């Protein structure tokens, strides 16, 4: 998390190609960039075009990822493959962390991080997102609404603790759960302003600590658990019945949640993405102001 000379905010592109349907995906990507600029920072949406990693996609490149067929979902293990084969790629949290860090961008806004997936029908889950290890490796400020609600949140919180990732509650004392404002899982520290987060990030850097500072922001348009939880359980069982694995799981679950809730999760998702982008921009500006 080096001291920034200008306020930059990285944005991932999986939400464009795999997280939302068209045209909502393209509109959302441009709205996130506009939200960052409105707070006085500059967005850097990250993706791969023809195998080339781009840190700062143009509107035309965003449209391409939003509409093209066969855009690969790119995590860390896929970066070299996509580059060598000249593929278009939408970057996950893990891949975006790598490319943002490599480009010197110290703040990253996303929706929800990946983590430990829920077990279906009583079976143990070995499906663990590469996002967790990437968060333990790359020293960025990562702004999110907690982990995706489709995950095993307790196991994911434990995994973050095991990896030494500091979880910050931005105006909250427990880690939010994407669609919900609070859970039973305490954060490591509460910060109520962007300046507090910036001071914490700089202390993290001065101590030479590895990994990200995970800033969790309560969603601005939460949904009641009694509405979302049954839909998640049904979607998880459906994914298991279809034999979906790895990169196939999350896009399927998000689509099914949208269908099962009459589109309410989509609206909540868009609202939290914009809120996270605004908070990340404020933190990026505060980091520039810090000595």
Active-site hit among 12, 26, 39, 275: 12
How far does CA 221 lie from the centroid of its chain? 17
The closest alpha carbon to 117, from 156, 80, 144, belongs to: 156
Q: Is 148 a catalytic residue?
A: yes
> In this structure, what token pair is assigned to residue 176?
């939010």
Spatial separation of the C-alpha atoms in residues 181 and 159, rounded to whole Å: 21
Rg (CA), the chain: 17
From the number of C-beta atoms within 10 Å of its C-beta (0-12, 13-18, 19+), residue 131 rates as buried
Are 145 and 178 a contacting pair, CB within 8 Å? Answer: yes
Spatial separation of the C-alpha atoms in residues 62 and 248, rounded to whole Å: 22
Phi, psi of 288 (to 5 degrees): -70, -35
Phi, psi of 128 (to 5 degrees): -125, 125
Active-site hit among 33, 39, 148, 274: 148
User: Which secondary structure element, helix H or strand E, spans residue 48, and what is its range?
Assistant: strand 42-49
Q: Is 12 a catalytic residue?
A: yes
CA torsion through residues 119, 124, 127, 128, sign: positive
CA atoms lying within 13 Å on the CB side of residue 188 = 15
Please give the positions annotated as active site. 12, 148
């Amino acid at each position: 998390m080096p001291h920034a000379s200008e306020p930059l905010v990285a944005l991932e592109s999986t939400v464009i190609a795999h997280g939302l349907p068209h045209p909502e995906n393209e509109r959302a990507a441009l709205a996130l960039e506009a939200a960052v600029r409105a707070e006085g920072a500059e967005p850097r949406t990250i993706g791969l075009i023809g195998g080339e990693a781009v840190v700062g996609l143009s509107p035309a490149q965003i449209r391409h990822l939003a509409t093209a067929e066969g855009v690969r979902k790119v995590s860390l293990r896929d970066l070299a493959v996509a580059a060598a084969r000249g593929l278009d790629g939408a970057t996950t949290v893990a891949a975006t962390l790598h490319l943002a860090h490599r480009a010197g961008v110290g703040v990253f806004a996303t929706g929800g991080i990946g983590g430990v997936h829920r077990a279906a029908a009583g079976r143990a889950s070995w499906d663990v997102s590469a996002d967790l290890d990437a968060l333990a490796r790359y020293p960025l400020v990562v702004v999110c609404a907690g982990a995706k609600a489709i995950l095993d949140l307790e196991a994911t919180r434990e995994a973050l603790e095991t990896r030494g990732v500091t979880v910050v509650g931005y105006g909250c004392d427990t880690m939010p759960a994407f669609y919900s404002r609070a859970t039973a899982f305490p954060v490591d520290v509460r910060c109520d302003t962007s300046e507090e987060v910036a001071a914490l990030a700089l202390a993290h850097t001065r101590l030479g600590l590895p990994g990200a500072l995970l800033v969790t922001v309560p969603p601005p348009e939460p949904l009641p658990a009694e509405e979302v939880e049954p839909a998640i359980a049904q979607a998880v069982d459906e994914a298991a019945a279809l034999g979906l694995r790895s990169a196939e799981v999350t896009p399927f679950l998000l689509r099914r949640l949208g269908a099962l809730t009459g589109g309410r999760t989509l609206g909540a998702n868009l609202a939290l993405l914009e809120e996270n982008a605004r908070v990340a921009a404020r933190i990026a500006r505060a980091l520039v102001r810090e000595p």
